[in-house]
Structure 1
Amino acid sequence: MMIRGNILNVFTGEIYPAEIEIESGIIKCVKKIKGNFKGLLVPGLIDAHIHIESSMLTPSFFAHAVVPHGTTAVVADPHEIANVMGTKGIDLMIKDSENVPLTFYFTAPSCVPATPFETSGATIESNQIDFLMQKDQIVALGEMMNFPGVINEDFSVINKIKSAQFNRKPVDGHAPLLSGEDLCKYISAGISTDHECSSAEEALEKKELGMKIMIREGSSAKNMEDLIEIGGDFLVSDDKHPEDLLEGHLNKLVQKAISLGMDPLQAIRMVTLNPAQHYSLKMGAIVPGNQADLVLVDNLENFEVEKVFIRGELVAEEGKSLFEPVTISGESSIHVEQKSPEDFNINLSGKSTLVRVIKVLEGQIVTSEMEAELPIIDGKITADIQKDILPISVVERYGHGRMSKAFVNGFEIKEGALASSVAHDSHNIIVVGTSYDYMAKAVNLLRENRGGLVAVSKDIHKFLDLPVAGLMSNCDAETVSSKLKELHKIAREMGCSLESPFMTMSFLALLVIPQLKLSDKGLFDGTKFEFVEVIKKIIE
């Protein structure tokens, strides 16, 4: 078959009319021709780093949502479902991905569990990494979050890196705020990328030391504006909620990068040629031998997607997918005892107490630490709703009965509670509320419904069920987005001002991101990589 049009050559930056000969989904030949064509054909867009589970969509429903926006391939790290189900979860993702035309590549999760300071549903050892590396769909070792393990030359961590190197596959990084000698040691272990830069200074240091910088613009963590002056090698989404995916995916990142002053060719290379070359993928440029993935856009300035071809076949047109997703089944692993309000209280005597508080930063997954004095009433530490100091708890979901209790600032909830079985990366249940009664009610609703997101207040409760591993829905993006919007509406009515409160909450359990986070085992300082006490002082 033949496709004709104006093409963008990502090697030279030239635009010219061409005839693309395609055989069995592969570009056989590209010939310059004469002719007048509307629009511009660019290579299919590749997301070099994303967690499909964070969209709360299964792979096939995710593909149905993003392909109309020009995404033709992704490099997905399945460590969310791997922390719940182990390698069975990875196999489930791979199997479902084969039901749709979008090309899914995966990385082998390097940190399951992410740290030894939390409880996950599975463990992936270095011998299992060896096995995963043999799969064609696995193109790299997933983000190495255990940077202390790398720096201290932990035997298991180093073996996982060596497995990737033996199989000639790159190792993705995750090193927020790492600097100086520790950063040098981390890079020298063979880690080549980082998507956690939150400042220009951090990105510049890593870039100067040879790391490839992934500029992240997700639903919660948005770093493009801070990093655009430094530049990078990839534009990635990392974690995206379904309502954002309905608006766009990588096409929106390209549009934003251009609007911030980036050269259009550079922006397009960051989602085509660069990821393809880094992960050794036969795509990313309109040249012979590559997969025939093409996106017709109006022009480089607007970058509005009109048609999408994968393996030479038209798969999306005028914002609509021309294929149907399928539903899958998967265990939820919600094994939690019924909770009472008393379970969430920290019993203390005295008039008040000085506590450590997790301070949420809008638009960031990093947090900071603050302190607050809270009253003790009838032996219970009481929230200070006026000062926005609320109780937060992580309830272990895998049947061991553990739970932790702490305090958080930044949600501004005036009455009610939010809870979720999505809590990176071990995905225990996380809950924030104005009272222990609301918190118990929210957790019990999750328990009864085998996972999901819930908002409860005095007269109302809303639920988004996630039956696949307690992480993903078997509905399309429109349905999930509609339910999530309703949850966000209720959260705003509670007083919450966060743009994505459930995604923000989900990262409060991610111990490998500084500074103060919470696991089922306790309050954790991600800078010191150690537990810290919630109670700093009791005031008699």
Structure 2
Amino acid sequence: MKFARPPLSECFADLVATARGDRKASLVVLNGTLVNVVSGEILRGMSIGVQGSRIAYVGKDVSHLIGPETRIVDAQGKYMAPGLLDGHAHIESTQLTVTEFARAVLPLGTTGGFFDPHEMANVFGIEGIRLMLEEGRQTPLASYMQVASCVPAAGPEFETTGSSVGPAEVAEAFRWGPDVIGLGEVMNFPGVVYGDEKMTGILKETLAAGRIADGHFTWSADDWRLPVYAASGISGDHECVTPEDVIERVRLGMYAKMRRGSAWHDVASTIKAHTEFGLDPRRMMLVTDDRSSESIRDEGHMNFVVRDAIAQGVKPITAFQMATINTAERFGVARDVGSLTPGSFADIILLDGNLADVNVVLTIAAGVVVAENGRMCVELPKYEYPEKVLNSVRLQPNVKPEDFAIRAPIVAGEATVRVIQVVENHVETPELKLRLPVADSLLTVGADSGLCKIAVLERHKETGNRSVGLVANVGFVKPAAIAMTVAHDSHNVLVIGNSDALMAEAANEIIRLQGGAAVVTEDGTTSFPLRIAGLMSAEPFEVAAEQSAAISRALADAGCTLNYAFMTLSLLALVVIPTLRLSDKGLVRISEEGIRLVPLFCEDE
């Protein structure tokens, strides 16, 4: 089945004829309670007439639209709401292909999203973006792609990626069609503020093409440079973790995106900008950013995020607006998605029970009933990725335990080292400084230290780059290691463990798999193959979700009980989030002063 989303200019005449009754509707949803996100009302006894992929009529009486071929959906006793929109997400973080992501989220009421495929772009550049765009076009989703803005995230001096994206690539991608909606999150915010030539060129191409630009600003809300960042044309930002972050962005005319991912629980704090400080919510959006296949299976997707916002005291109609019309208006596509109004795409969800429960029982996408009672009721075509995307790990499985030894600047005694500190359910990683013993010129990390080694092995260009550091709060209580090719944003091989031997085993396992995650303990190995670019599973959603859950169980058995630990640990190589991260080129610190490489040993400064 093909799921068409033609422009309104091509079908408005048919919609008008249907609204008059001259043509009969292809689908009618009868006698439900309309969640009108435009007016902020709940309207009972309403019906919706659909012609093809778009809504032709909304009113109390649609009898003149019904013919012998019209499909009738009885909405008696149910709410009719616009399909939910995710205003900032990375599909790759779900570990699923676009097709399997659609299968996972459509039954939950997500009918569209604004996707930043910068994970894929870090491996395969705009060619990778093009592949995901093409796959999205053959699903029922209103799938809008953004062009990755920061590949690499902070510059080649800080990390090695599989590709790069500059002004010329951005300009080319915008020519692919209107569903290439804008520029993905601009993580190199110091580059924007201080006039980096590459970032200036990328933003110029974006604005010249009439596209929007999304932000990623992690300096404090009261920093004088936030208005500087906004002056560049960047008009939305998801790096909001406090009410003040939301308030300052909204005051500057930006859209504030409030995030509830698998491991980033920011809505509870950020929503207070509305519930306690009373700001108008029309420039506030609910987003997921990163949700794993496991958490989609166990908790939900945008339905879960909307429910969470309501639980924090947001009125249900307002929460729905934050996940529909606000999002559509932010991206300039409110004519097409985000509301149940004549002319809009027929992306309709039916909800049972209390509206605050967000209990989705039926999903219509582009005028087609695609899911009912939590299950897909249409088949989606399979998308084939080229062979090189399935073989992207350019390393040999010959990693040795001694590769993780840390040579110290002294022969014996104690040395002061920088340590990355993990914080559960948060993206920031504070910097610790600890005194640790040295013997025979090697740093000694005792089993009772509570520390793990962390290493990054470059896997794209065969540079041989390898770096090793230390991380606290992983929680392993027995010998264990995890290796993964999901290592934001450069997606090199990331290895974490308290045993050099097990770290080598884990690294070699994911190299043999050509990408994925592997947890190794003395009891055995648990693997999660991610063959597509080392980021996404080639398996159906249900299989991938269970394999993801198996990694979580293996980590928990080893003592790592962090909430969605795989996702939390995968960010330890993301060099644009404060404070301390590790790349293939060494330790990277981001602070109010900017981004710079720093030595592991403080004595080396």
TM-score, normalising length from structure 1? 0.97
2:186 equivalent in structure 1: 144
Residue 203 in 1 paired to residue 246 in 2?
yes
Q: Structure 1, residues 139-167: CA drift from partner, whole Å, max 9, x if none?
A: 11111111011011112211211222122
Runs of 4 or more off by more than 4 Å in structure 1?
none
**What are the within-5 Å matches in structure 2 for residues 56-455 of structure 1?**
56-116=95-155, 117-134=158-175, 135-178=177-220, 179-231=222-274, 233-246=284-297, 247-281=299-333, 282-298=336-352, 299-325=354-380, 326-329=382-385, 330-337=389-396, 338-348=398-408, 349-398=411-460, 399-414=462-477, 415-455=479-519
Q: Which amino acid aligns with 1:375?
A: P
How many angstroms apart in 2 are the aligned matches of 1:205 and 1:290? 32
**What are the within-5 Å matches in structure 2 for residues 2-17 of structure 1?**
2-4=28-30, 5-14=32-41, 15-17=43-45
Q: Which amino acid aligns with 1:504?
A: T
Q: Secondary structure at the match of 1:497?
A: coil
Q: Secondary structure at the match of 1:54?
A: helix
How many angstroms apart in 2 are the aligned matches of 1:490 and 1:53? 22
Question: Structure 1 stretch 267-276 or stretch 335-344: which is displaced more?
Answer: 335-344
How many angstroms apart in 1 are the aligned matches of 2:188 and 2:569? 21
Kept after mapping to 2: 8 A contact 1:385/1:413? no
Question: Structure 1 stretch 132-141 or stretch 59-68: which is displaced more?
Answer: 132-141
How many angstroms apart in 2 are the aligned matches of 1:341 and 1:379? 17
Larger Rg: 1 or 2?
Answer: 2
- Of all paired residues, the percent bearing the same amino acid is 36
Q: Secondary structure at the match of 1:445?
A: helix
How many angstroms apart in 2 are the aligned matches of 1:458 and 1:272? 48
How many angstroms apart in 2 are the aligned matches of 1:383 and 1:56? 33
Q: Which amino acid aligns with 1:393?
A: A
Structure 1 residues 357 and 28: alpha-carbon distance in aligned structure 2, compared to 1, 3 A threshold: same
Structure 1 residues 27 and 419: alpha-carbon distance in aligned structure 2, compared to 1, 3 A threshold: same
Q: Which amino acid aligns with 1:26?
A: R
Q: Which amino acid aligns with 1:307?
A: L
How many angstroms apart in 2 are the aligned matches of 1:426 and 1:332? 16
Q: Structure 1, residues 160-188: CA drift from partner, whole Å, max 9, x if none?
A: 11222122211100001344221111011
Kept after mapping to 2: 8 A contact 1:78/1:109? yes
How many angstroms apart in 1 are the aligned matches of 2:134 and 2:212? 23
**Could you tell me how far 1:70 is from its partner in structure 2?**
0.3
Kept after mapping to 2: 8 A contact 1:82/1:89? yes
Q: Secondary structure at the match of 1:276?
A: helix
Structure 1 residues 36 and 115: alpha-carbon distance in aligned structure 2, compared to 1, 3 A threshold: closer
1:482 equivalent in structure 2: 546
TM-score, normalising length from structure 2? 0.86
**Could you tell me how far 1:36 is from its partner in structure 2?**
8.8
**Could you tell me how far 1:211 is from its partner in structure 2?**
1.8
1:536 equivalent in structure 2: 602
How many angstroms apart in 2 are the aligned matches of 1:387 and 1:200? 36
How many angstroms apart in 2 are the aligned matches of 1:225 and 1:280? 27
Q: Which amino acid aligns with 2:256?
A: I
Kept after mapping to 2: 8 A contact 1:309/1:316? yes
**Could you tell me how far 1:53 is from its partner in structure 2?**
0.1
Q: Secondary structure at the match of 1:526?
A: strand
How many angstroms apart in 2 are the aligned matches of 1:459 and 1:180? 50
**Could you tell me how far 1:255 is from its partner in structure 2?**
0.9
Q: Which amino acid aligns with 2:595?
A: F
How many angstroms apart in 1 are the aligned matches of 2:399 and 2:285? 45
**Could you tell me how far 1:322 is from its partner in structure 2?**
1.4
Structure 1 residues 87 and 36: alpha-carbon distance in aligned structure 2, compared to 1, 3 A threshold: closer
Give the aligned length: 538
CA RMSD of aligned residues (A): 1.6
Q: Secondary structure at the match of 1:316?
A: strand
Kept after mapping to 2: 8 A contact 1:327/1:474? no
How many angstroms apart in 1 are the aligned matches of 2:29 and 2:585? 57
Residue 22 in 1 paired to residue 50 in 2?
yes
Question: Structure 1 stretch 102-111 or stretch 324-333: which is displaced more?
Answer: 324-333
Structure 1 residues 373 and 384: alpha-carbon distance in aligned structure 2, compared to 1, 3 A threshold: farther
